[in-house]
Structure 1
Amino acid sequence: MTETTSQSGEHSTTRFWLAVTFVIILVQIVSQYLMGRIWICECGYVKLFEAGVNTPGNSQHIFDWYTPSHIIHGFLFYGLGWLVMRKKPLTAKLALAALIEAGWEILENSPIVIDRYRKATMAVGYSGDSILNSGMDMVSMIAGFFFAARMPVWLTVAIAIAFEILTALIIRDNLTLNVIMLVWPIEAVKTWQGAL
């Protein structure tokens, strides 16, 4: 096999997995539209960053205090891809990461999980993400994925820990607490979070 043929095969594989990733993102968006999710905030405008947590604008705009959690998703999903798909190209690992993130975004915005958030976590008024916010959660995950693919493990871990500490201090929530409270709620944590 010539070098040109090999490069052509690599480009085809890259294009294939990028197309798969694009289709996964499209399915995420269409699924949420069919679930009745709104495109943008009901307020009628788009903000770059929503600083409020228990506000109607949370999870409705481009970025919010949960964006770091989605970046950490990218770190974790890259690590998973590295473990289970070592011989596959980076774009195949990206497709796996996008599939997991899209699955979570669809599940997170289903009535059963929205209701669970309202009952078990600090997100008392949570009504789900706008399609814009959910799409930007995917973009944040992809940014985290590529960061983890390019940077040293120690730096990726340090940034994940910094994000977790920062969001815990500012909004009394982070990825770790979110998972704990969704799966196994702790009343003391819920009380502490509610005092914000």
Structure 2
Amino acid sequence: MFTRRLAPYWATFFIILLAAAWLLWIGREPICKCGHIKLWYGQTMTSENSQHIADWYTPSHIIHGILFYAGLWLVARRISFGWRLAIATLVEAAWELVENSDAIIERYRSVTISLDYYGDSVLNSVADILAMVLGFMLASRLPVWASVLLVLGFEALTTWLIRDGLILNVLMLVWPLEAVRVWQAG
């Protein structure tokens, strides 16, 4: 049943659905070419990275949700929670579309250590959007200090374990530094 109260949640659902349809339309693989669907794939330097449901980049999408919640609370708190979630989902979906464009894929491959990166599978992109939704929901229920600790903890964990994270990913995409690239390569 479509009610006014549920409209933003239906909008969120359709944004995710349209993002998946667009990614399929532009030729992204629906699932990993390996033919398997894994809940977790923990290796970063392989062609299966960003092809399964969750990976070491999932925490960065949870962070997106926390940051989107904070930003929208600051500038649009009079808008209902549901519509703020829909806006955040639209921004995250737009990022997934841009991230999986040929230009950005080539940028990652040319300026980062992601030489085997050929874009996300549609499954992984949808899971990334859902991870953002999870982060948004967590931020709406956790105290601010817990959200801050979660962001710092995820960044520290991924930086320590895979030498990457949201901050390093953005840095290397926007302003690549050779010293960081060498460090990330181990």
TM-score, normalised with respect to structure 1? 0.92
**1:40 maps to which residue?**
31
2:173 counterpart of 1:182: yes
Residue 28 of structure 1 pairs with residue 55 of structure 2: no
1:57 to 48, 52, 60: 48
Aligned length: 185
Counterparts of 1:8-157 in structure 2, within 5 Å, are 12-157=3-148
Say which one has the larger Rg.
Answer: 1
How far apart are the structure 2 equivalents of 1:13 and 1:175? 36
In structure 2, what is the Cα distance between the partners aligned to 1:12 and 1:46? 35
Secondary structure in structure 2 of the residue aligned to 1:37: coil
Instruction: Give the unaligned 5+ runs of structure 1.
Output: 1-10
For the 8 Å contact 1:14–1:89, the answer to whether it is kept is no
Q: What CA distance in whole angstroms lies between the structure 2 residues aligned with 1:139 and 1:41?
A: 18
Q: Which runs of 4+ in 1 moved over 3 A?
A: none
The CA deviation at 1:86 is: 1.0
**C-alpha displacement at 1:37, in angstroms?**
0.5
AA partner of residue 154 (structure 2): F
The Cα RMSD (Å) is 1.0
Contact conserved, 1:50 with 1:63, CA < 8 A, in 2?
yes
Task: Give the Å deviation of 1:68.
Answer: 0.3
Cα distance in 2 for residues equivalent to 1:24 and 1:114: 22
Identity of aligned residues (%): 49
Partner of 1:172: 163
Extract unaligned runs of 5+ from structure 2: none
